[in-house]
Structure 1
């Protein structure tokens, strides 16, 4: 073939593989070279055409190519040519996205990459005279200036010369998309929902309409839609919602089953139904299912909206600041500028500006650095709302307003619970960003208790307290664009003593929170009188501590405020009450009980509580007086100022007051004695945790005091369920199926499901329903427990995964209960599997989000994927792309303090049965990844020979579980997957 005319005639191309790489040399010769040969040849070649340059470099054992990369990465070209479209970052994924015939993709050599480049450049050229042409030309010109490897080729395709005519869109204007994005407009408030129910017949009719006349009938799907209608009946009395617990086996089709009655009720009553998931991946999956209800994208956008937390979206003000910094640095910020140009291109095409799991490809951060995305997202809690010059073009505000008029809002458990909690505090007035729903559907309902545990817990840690200080005071001498509260309020308080005085008092009191450098100081700090000293001058940078060897001589005391003093004592207690080498650093997470509390810690807690009260009081005064200004100056405030004041009140309450009030309450209980003495059931569980967090330097660890509800479904029921009118909670694993036909056991399984869903705290009982999976698991699946693999030997574990993945010919999902073991196995496994033609990907190793890893796994039929909990739940990979699930050990609950207390007080006197139930539910979730449609065939393997037989009821009826050695199991797996036969000669155990 010949290279596209806009590419150099000598452009090489490279497909990196372990073992043998496919290479198109500058002379046009196709060779198969080892990675070592490729590394040697690349030194003398022009920039090669590749797919996913960072991953290619990793496979060749080369350092990252950097930014701007000298390599011609087809993913960068794809992002420019086809913005806001996702694609697996592989040869097969890109080929299928470009509509290349599958026959050309299979066993392709490196020359195919030049055909792909030609295709993408042709697509760019065809857009030259379209609506996007001027922007594309201006961005391409800028990117070429910055050294983009594709710059010359793209400019050639767009007909861009050595200069942009003055009458055309200029490059620095093209990147400023915040000037041209569409504005949102306010709509009239939506009236309260109507009272009209949905009948089972109407739900079934809507389901038939969605499925169409030619759809395959799923057993139980119409029955599920029928049952779900009970959640949409009018409420009989306040605080008593209609609650439906519907367990729907894998393959039932529950998504469309609840969409049918939800869409009928929403249209009939002119109100939204909020559909909540635990994972972001399922949010997008549900949205894709809704294309069957609303085939036209514009109509679907009107009726359906995805809602996430602000930190997931592009912040236009932060992007403006990033662009200005990159422009000021010129060529020194070339990589950042190229990435920002591609972000600008994406922003004009994006449906909602979602940077995390939306239509920005998940590999973008790997190409241009996670720091670039972090810098342009709203991750710092500094939104100034109406004061922002881009407020009316803000993606977050767009989604909030769309949700107010949508029929179906697809959210996540964390956002839904947070919103309900704030509404409970604020009522229907200031603080409500969305209309509060009356009808909810909780998919992945087995995670309700986990989500509530996270949403309603309290954490007083170094990182949390330091983050609050940064939010209040802004950057303190560091290179940061962090804006403090005074700067955000700006002209709202200037010249108004009644507002300036409490603000200044709060900012002064904020110096009681950890100062920059706190983590390093804690390692060797000694208790001093510093906690009683006046706060340091905010204009003087605090001393920057260094990491201290535990065996070195103590340095001078550096604790500078009461928070650091408390954190130091918490750290001492955690190290004293846990196991570890004397004088040596401990690895991983360290936890210990708060009680009994030493006297110095009690005094430090009281001192900090008083300091936090000095922060809380002026902040509360500021909020009250801002509210008074809304009333007193109502006739003088314009809409922007009113919006800013309301936003300021909301932000101070959410970001500061709620947090500080929780800390004060928790500190007040320190030293009061433990409520969980024998015979007493505590309301809260208080404990100390010491661990390392992402972004901390080696040797530094965060430490904190944590408070969790013993039963987090209590606040869930109070703030979300009770105010609602109807809730549908559904999952394939709501109950613990223990295989018993005893009616009392069945009743206990339902009661446990109700306890985890909060039903027991509501006045009305839930409607229970269980719909079986339509799959023939006896025919479609096999299950094995391997009896001769040492679970604590990484080499043996890696060998087992290799044997099993090769036996299945790929298509294997390896699940782990610990990230460290996953990484260890991946390091031993990647090379041999790649050499066998089975590409291996891994969560916590490959720097891509989970959705992208699953997309790769789904598109690469013979690839294998390693993952942890997130891959165990909510992953849908139908077909032969997933034909083997290997679990490294029984997924027992983590034996931490939280679990200890809950198994004592919530197990009904049977702690071991409590543990078994959790393990069985996790095994059921893992097995559920395997068979997703009636033509699937799959094998489940557990590498834990210690697996007790009482856990085997986790598997569906008809699945016989066989215990055998690894070699025997590998032969059985190959035979079953190739012929559908196997294990008939092996008696089940």
Structure 2
């Protein structure tokens, strides 16, 4: 029996706090409380002077604290670091108030009282650690804390070691090697075929009542909705004709549990998972959280509910291993230590959302966290030494036996396009945020022949050619499968030689610098495309992304396109031969192949098909279009093709040819919906209110069916609509400001500042362009700060969107600026969101793709097509404002040119007033101050 070394013998845990003052930062001022009880509140300059003579202060979010005070970075005992160590994978908004809420403490409003609470919060965390010191999670926690004390002088190290009862623990790197402690996944027999027992409307109602429990608020609309959703869980009568339900559920209906009720019942009864798909990560997380009502026991919930995302969202253990190897040299020991704690506690390894603390990137920088994700094209699958512990592989296998799989539209559609993918084809699908199916399908079923995409394929084939990437080329990934077999080596070598026709390192510079010659057929084609785009551009396009039609085709583009088509064909042929010969081994050597080799061959063939052969086939078809004569005017195309030069903040970053389906819901219907047995498409905004008329009551439903792909399916959809229970007439105000020039950045910023000040925070500002968001943020962040209103912003703050929303929800006096992702799927009930300001009408962006859809999908009414898009976006934004029956809020549009017909899409009961900014500010203040 191994006995602990004397220096590591456990003692009784004890509470030891750093001898540090507690600091709460306002903007340009702060409150400092010393351990002796001396309290000081004053300007930042005095706070900074006092800190020079004190130990590092106790704070929540050191970088944000320094920023608010206007000071440079200073040493601190950051409670967020202690939280991440003691309670890994537990949610917390990274503010003092947010931490108090996370630890079940009432957060005081006064800065002095909050400063006094910081040591209490540290005490709670350390006591929690001490109570769980013998838990498996904390087996190596003392060794890790000792390492942090030795390597980076972590200020919480002594406190942690005292709480664990191991003040003399010896430092070790072993706790960072989390892959040694993660469980292996195991292959199981294929599941039996599912049964087809239906779920009746009455059974759906009963299951909903069970989920809600006794004494729950009676919501008749929710029960009606569950009954309607049950229609998607009937036995299918004909191949290619799923039971399709289009269900509109007004905000406040409770649609998540409304569809979870029949979905979970069907899955449990028939032995197959139901996939629930969303458009945004925010809603994906909300749905996952809602399932705790159905499965409150954490282990059962983990088994029954699986969140699925693309590989790039998960912690890559191979990347983690490489980072650990370089930790002592790269100054990333502390963030790696906190990530290792999280990796042992996480539910699914999602490092881009889920239970990962998104604020770690703000504390330590993106370079410390983002490289740990599974970077595109670098996964080596079964050749990886951590394959059996891989979070992605775990989630794939858990999904096969789950009850509910919470995914996103992009993953569901990409998997369907690949014939089912790693997860197989789900029989029952629920598409929440169904109004986004058109956009999701548009992204999933498109093809881009660009510098970035083709250079990525070259990297996947040839591996890293300089730089810091560890990308292994195809030869390295397949070397154990190919060995010295000539029948496999020859096509591999031919393919790798042909891959040099793709853009190599430094291609962006060669593309834009006319003095530098392009290298290879792809760069020559891209250079020619860039020339045609610039030649056709308008002068006022300078600084922004620009595009042009294919025809009339410039001669250099035609010539370069033919050369590239031939070059891609020379690459496609040997790769296809290599895949076919690898596949043949599965049959020819069936009796000799070991299980591991069989798995690797199957993975290699999938990779060749998806990463190389499919894009090469699409690019060849696109280049073939350049040979075709121009399409006659008025003829409806299946695809829309164009050239574009892409710019970001005035700088070119890519160029190429793009192809989208004219109507992307058609491939969605055929590849995703038709193979399923039941599909529920739901949203609060499936129909356009303005399209509802007494003359043609079906018009709004027909438009919804066209936008969701239902019109392409063999069987008609079941339609259902449940009205919102909210009293919008009483609880909301809608104001259009008529004396602000939306094109004047100064006026727009002043309007935001005045309105946000009138509401006292709790405001969400939405923008149709990131550039305008940045401009307004720069102009108003300091004036709002001086009023005690913190301002956060998407595209500016380093936190991910989910963390930004968490902060906004926790801080009732804060404001948040965002774009599309904040317009949809954000749930912030209560006073934290009481004002929503939109900078201008969200018209569709004028582009070649929109022009063609406007022409061919509008049924001869192109202006109505534009109106419907803008109306829908406004209604989605308005839907963020009222999330509960007792919410109240003001919706403001800073666009005097907004036609009244666009606001007709807002919920019934809302009335619109047009007035000047001063009156809008007064109205906002008065309405929100009522009650």
Give SS of 1:220's match.
helix
Moved more, 716-725 or 146-155: 146-155
Q: Are 1:149 and 2:104 an aligned pair?
A: no
Unaligned runs of 5+ in 2: 1-13
1:737 paired to 2:689 = yes
Question: Is the alpha carbon distance of 1:796 and 1:716 closer, same or farther for their aligned partners in structure 2, counting shifts above 3 Å?
Answer: same
Cα offset for 1:758? 0.8
Give 1:7 deviation, angstroms: 4.1
Partner of 2:78: 73
- The answer for the alignment partner of 1:680 in structure 2 is 635
Q: Is the Cα–Cα contact under 8 Å of residues 382 and 488 in structure 1 kept in the other structure?
A: no
The equivalences for 1:299-698 within 5 A come to 299-326=300-327, 330=328, 332-334=329-331, 336-423=332-419, 432-525=421-514, 555=515, 557-580=516-539, 586-675=542-631, 677-692=632-647
Deviations 1:713-752 (A, max 9, x none): 11111111111111110001111111753232x3222111
Where 1:562 maps in the other structure, the secondary structure is helix
Separation in 1 of the partners of 2:612 and 2:270? 37
SS of 2:430's partner is: strand
Whether the 8 Å contact between 2:28 and 2:68 is mirrored in structure 1 is no
Deviation track 1:334-370 (CA, whole Å, cap 9, x = no partner) reads 3x12211111111111111110111111101222222
Partner of 1:207: 208
Per-residue deviation, 1:588: 2.7
Deviation (angstroms), 1:406:
0.8
Change (3 A) 1:104 1:871: closer
Displacement of 1:907 in angstroms is: 0.5
Q: Is the 8 A contact 1:520 1:700 kept in 2?
A: no
790-799 vs 916-925, greater mean Cα deviation = 790-799
1:219 deviation in Å? 3.2
Q: Is the 8 A contact 2:307 2:395 kept in 1?
A: yes
CA distance in 1, matches of 2:790, 2:137: 38
The alignment status of 1:768 with 2:719, answered yes or no, reads: yes
8 Å Cα contact 1:23-1:109 kept in structure 2: no
* Alignment of 1:914 onto 2:865: yes
Report the Cα offset of residue 477 of structure 1. 2.5
Three-state SS of the structure 1 residue aligned to 2:608 is helix
2:787 equivalent in structure 1: 836
Compute the displacement of 1:962 (Å). 0.6
Q: Which segment is superposed worse, 829-838 or 775-784?
A: 829-838
- The answer to whether the 8 A contact 1:22-1:109 is kept is no
Residue 27 of structure 1 and its aligned partner are, at CA, apart by: 7.2
Q: Per-residue deviation at 1:178?
A: 0.6
Contact 1:739 1:953 in 2 (8 A): no
Farther off after superposition, 838-847 or 151-160 = 151-160
8 A Cα contact 2:176 2:340, kept in partner: yes
Distance 1:576 1:133, change over 3 A: same
Deviations 1:281-336 (A, max 9, x none): 1111111111111111111112111110011011111111111122xxx3x323x1
Aligned pairs, number: 917
Report if the CA contact (8 A) 1:602-1:670 is conserved. yes
After superposition, the C-alpha distances for 1:397-448 in whole angstroms (9 at most, x for unaligned) are: 1110111111111110000001111117xxxxxxx41231111100000000
- Name stretches of at least 5 consecutive residues in structure 1 with no aligned partner: 165-169, 425-431, 526-554, 981-989
Any idea what the Cα deviations from partners look like across 1:265-284, whole Å, max 9, x if unmatched? 11111111111000111111
Aligned to 2:600, what secondary structure does the other structure show? helix
* Structure 1 pair 37–794 and aligned structure 2 pair: CA distance change class (3 A): farther
> 3-state DSSP class of the match of 1:954?
coil
Q: Structure 1's 666 and 43: CA in aligned 2 closer, same or farther, altered over 3 A? A: farther
| Partner SS, residue 422 of structure 2 | coil
* Structure 1 residues 104 and 712: alpha-carbon distance in aligned structure 2, compared to 1, 3 A threshold: closer
Partner-residue secondary structure (3-state), 2:292: coil
Hey, what's the Cα distance between the residues in 2 that align with 1:27 and 1:252? 53
Task: State whether structure 2 residue 732 is matched by structure 1 residue 781.
Answer: yes
Per the TM alignment, residue 183 of structure 1 is displaced from its structure 2 partner at its CA by 1.2
Aligned to 2:667: 715
Show the counterpart of 1:861: 812
Change in 2 beyond 3 A, CA 1:570/1:62: farther
**1:86 matched to which residue of 2?**
91
Cα 1:196/1:130, change in 2 over 3 Å: closer
User: Given that residues 447 and 618 in structure 2 are in contact (C-alpha distance below 8 angstroms), is that contact kept between their aligned partners in structure 1?
Assistant: yes
Written as runs of structure 1 = structure 2, the 5 A alignment for 1:9-158 is 9=19, 11-24=20-33, 29-63=38-72, 70-103=75-108, 108-147=113-152, 148-158=154-164
Secondary structure of the residue that 2:897 maps to in structure 1?
A: coil
Residue by residue over 1:770-826, the C-alpha shift from the partner in whole angstroms, topping out at 9 and shown as x without a partner, is 111011111111111111111111221111112111222211111111111111111
- Using the alignment, how far apart are the partners of 1:958 and 1:478 within structure 2? 60
